[in-house]
Structure 1
Amino acid sequence: MDAHKFASKGVPEALSLPPKWLGMYSDFILKNASAVSQIESALRSLTYIIPGRFRESEIASESLHSGVQLLSLYHDSLLSKAISRLPLPQRPHPSPHNRYTKFWSQRSPFYRRLALTLQMIQYTELLWEMAAKRKGEKVRWRVVVFLEAIKALCRLLLLRLTNSRPLLSPPLPEREVDPATVEESARAASAEERGEPLIPPPDLNDGSQTPPSERSEAPSDAGWTMPRTGLSMPSLPDTSDISSYLLSKVLTADDIKPPKALLHRVSGKGEIAEILYILRPVVYAFAMQRWGRDKKNWTPWLLGLSIEYGARQLAKNDFQERLAGGLRGLTVLEREELRKRGWNLGWWMMRGAFYENITKGWIHTVSQKLQNKPLLGLVGGIIEDYEFLWDQHYFPTATL
């Protein structure tokens, strides 16, 4: 009987521990957002520059890289929730990309789940390919085609959910917040919950520690710190810099538009172009599976490039015909996405037959010239490691 009572008490307590630990972890992240961001950046950079990481320890290093990316994705959600709880004057001004993606994420839970699935696949796709490659080339290409098909399906559903609006990359809001603001807010909330007064940090510019003869020379742009909350109010601008200060506060046309109006809906040729753009990776991966035994075969490369370039030109023609002012009528967000897709066309120099016949020889020549030279030898070694990566795997040069 006593054992039954002990078990009935112990099981609920054990089940309550994981949420409690998760809450403690969330509080720790919010109170140390600056340090956590620096650690994430350091680990991410380390996985990029470790010499030889793509040969003897490719699975281990790519697992570390994927883990950091997934953890950063979770941290982004924590910071986003913390920012949404801040008073409006303290919230950072969001970019058009964040306004648009946040609108759809909040409006449609299905959109958020699809976008999150898409991001997680993109962060782990190279790891899946490396694991599949150990079981043979056939298994590897089946996994590649399967992952590209899943991503294309997610994008087609996102296109449907947004009422035929062009897709953005990434489909989730990006981190655009000063970690110090989140830390200050988290500490203030924690102190308020405990009923403790928040003691603001000492202001080194308030003149209290400055000799009277030097106080007139102390900077006066430190702002004013509120005694109860510890938050600071910005100081007034310099009289010689009023124009630039006022211009920084001016709202643009995109700032006052509803979030979903930041992208025009596409139809007809524009919708066909977007669908072709989404399906291009699947077609290219399938072509590589079909003709990939001969790496110098130009068929997959020409097929993939033709689809992507044709989709781009078709979309531009649709904008030119349908929008008032043609391409000049595009919103800032549409111009940014169109420019990003244009730069992504450059990755075709690192793919398929173009890489095997042209780029690979040039990269190998450069890396050989950098060997046995101070400092430059390290750069040459990293280039050789990436040359191995580009030569042996599909996803490092994938842009979708």
Structure 2
Amino acid sequence: MGERLEIAAQKATIQDILCLPPKWLSLYSNFITKNQSSVTSIESALRSLTYIIPGRFRDAELASESLHSSIQLLSLYHDTLLLRAMSKLPGAPAQQSPHNRYTKFWIQKSNFYRRVAMTLSVVQYTELLWEMMAKRKGEKVRWRIAIVLEIVKAVCRLLLMRITNSRPLVSPPLPEREVIPEEAVEEEEEEDGFRDEGFHEERERPVKEKEYKMKRTGMSLPVLPNPSDISTYLLSKVLTADDIKAAPSLLNSTRGSAQLAEILYILQPVIYAVALSRSKDKRNWQPWLLGLSIEYAARQLRKDGLRTTSLEREQWAKRGWAMGWWAMRGAFYENVTKGFLHKTSDRLPSLISGVLDDYLYLWDGYYFSTSSN
């Protein structure tokens, strides 16, 4: 009898130990949800710090980039936790961007989309770190890793295009972080308390304005806005065309030349990386002209029409601004931009020139330091 009790006690102990990790993750998730603004501020501060010292103490470049990639991945995990918490709240956020509506739709509809988008995001956050590690083993290994990473990203983008029925890509492919209303979080905490304990002890709560619920009909009347801010309140209630559209209709499916333009945009980084790896002279204009020509052709093949949505215009505007990075790549950087930046660095105060020199060190030696997609 005593041995059976001992065995039962050991089994219970093992089960308790195995249950600890999920409990810790649950506690961590609740902490992130309740302290969203503080966590976001800390992430921004750490990210800014890594931007200020990108290659500080150049022997420790791998450590600084590892820190930056870790912060990005942790932020991505926090976004997942907050998105999960937001999905449990009743109703949708009052102000939700078309990008978030679109990406949330596909994440909820297709687990495959979520996995591919997550893989693409992880590769984008860690690509420079992989290149740094590969460069220590030689230039050949470095370019092989760079080409493999570009191929992985291209495959992910082609899959996303396939999943969304030939719709254009959005950047980022996952929803951006949204603010969770404090009132909703507190209501959820109260519901969890009732569910877990069965009752609530009386506690001090801040007095809040609540919606008035009519006794006979059961309908609720909203809280009246501040008289001094009526215009903002009314504007927040106005529905636009994008608010009425179904989420998948926020982007039109591509056909013909538009579809070819999207495929060219996806394949351009792979072709450019292969051309660079085969060029022995950094000042050779051929790879740079090839890559820029493909991206420019992709923009020209796309035709703006009356059916173009605001989300499409937003994404193509982002791509237009991203083309500015061609001034920091390949032969244009080696022949034009590099000399100008080095001369500028010599004229700046030591503190500012030190930060600029660190970036020049990255731009001079790493392919992914100026990658925009």
The answer to whether the 8 Å contact 2:167/2:254 transfers is yes
Query: Match of 1:214?
Result: none
Distance 1:9 1:184, change over 3 A: closer
1:306 aligns with 2:288: no
1:360 aligns with 2:338: yes
Task: Please show how residues 239-388 of structure 1 align to structure 2 within 5 Å.
Answer: 242-291=230-279, 293-316=280-303, 319=304, 323=305, 325=306, 329-371=307-349, 377-388=350-361
Task: Please show how residues 12-27 of structure 1 align to structure 2 within 5 Å.
Answer: 12-27=15-30
Query: Match of 1:74?
Result: 77
1:236 aligns with 2:230: no
Task: Please show how residues 1-400 of structure 1 align to structure 2 within 5 Å.
Answer: 7-50=10-53, 52-53=55-56, 55-88=58-91, 91-178=93-180, 180=182, 184-185=186-187, 187-192=189-194, 193-194=196-197, 195-196=199-200, 199=203, 201-202=205-206, 224=209, 235-238=224-227, 242-291=230-279, 293-316=280-303, 319=304, 323=305, 325=306, 329-371=307-349, 377-400=350-373
3-state SS in 1 of match to 2:324:
helix
CA distances 1:301-321 after superposition (whole Å, capped 9, x unpaired): 0000000010011013xx3xx
Scaled by the length of structure 1, what TM-score is found? Answer: 0.83
The answer to whether the 8 Å contact 2:117/2:173 transfers is yes
**1:190: Cα distance to partner?**
4.9
The answer to whether the 8 Å contact 1:30/1:186 transfers is no
**1:55: Cα distance to partner?**
1.2
CA distances 1:208-238 after superposition (whole Å, capped 9, x unpaired): xxxxxxxxxxxxxxx72689xxxxx754242
**1:25: Cα distance to partner?**
1.2
Query: Match of 2:219?
Result: none
CA distances 1:357-397 after superposition (whole Å, capped 9, x unpaired): 000111111111013xxxxx322211110010111101121
- Farther off after superposition, 56-65 or 183-192: 183-192
Query: Match of 2:216?
Result: none
CA distances 1:127-155 after superposition (whole Å, capped 9, x unpaired): 11110010000000000000000110011
**1:102: Cα distance to partner?**
0.4
3-state SS in 2 of match to 1:24:
helix
CA distances 1:52-85 after superposition (whole Å, capped 9, x unpaired): 4271211111111111111111111111122222
Distance 1:54 1:398, change over 3 A: farther
Give the Cα–Cα distance (whole angstroms) in 2 for the partners of residues 28 and 69 of structure 1: 19
Tell me how many residue pairs correspond in the alignment. 359
Query: Match of 1:206?
Result: none
3-state SS in 1 of match to 2:59:
coil
CA distances 1:14-71 after superposition (whole Å, capped 9, x unpaired): 3222112111211221222222111111111111112742712111111111111111
Letter in 1 for 2:51: Y
- Unpaired runs of 5+ residues, structure 1, are 204-222, 228-232, 372-376
Query: Match of 1:374?
Result: none
- Cα RMSD of the aligned pairs, angstroms, is 2.3
Letter in 1 for 2:235: L
The answer to whether the 8 Å contact 1:224/1:234 transfers is yes
- Farther off after superposition, 140-149 or 75-84: 75-84
The answer to whether the 8 Å contact 2:154/2:266 transfers is yes
- Farther off after superposition, 281-290 or 75-84: 75-84
Scaled by the length of structure 2, what TM-score is found? Answer: 0.89
Letter in 2 for 1:393: Y
Query: Match of 1:215?
Result: none
Distance 1:133 1:265, change over 3 A: same
- Farther off after superposition, 352-361 or 29-38: 29-38
Give the Cα–Cα distance (whole angstroms) in 1 for the partners of residues 301 and 173 of structure 2: 22
Give the Cα–Cα distance (whole angstroms) in 2 for the partners of residues 295 and 111 of structure 1: 38
The answer to whether the 8 Å contact 1:191/1:198 transfers is no
Letter in 1 for 2:73: L
Give the Cα–Cα distance (whole angstroms) in 2 for the partners of residues 118 and 77 of structure 1: 15
- Unpaired runs of 5+ residues, structure 2, are 213-221
Letter in 2 for 1:172: L
Give the Cα–Cα distance (whole angstroms) in 1 for the partners of residues 172 and 253 of structure 2: 19
**1:201: Cα distance to partner?**
4.8
Distance 1:306 1:21, change over 3 A: same
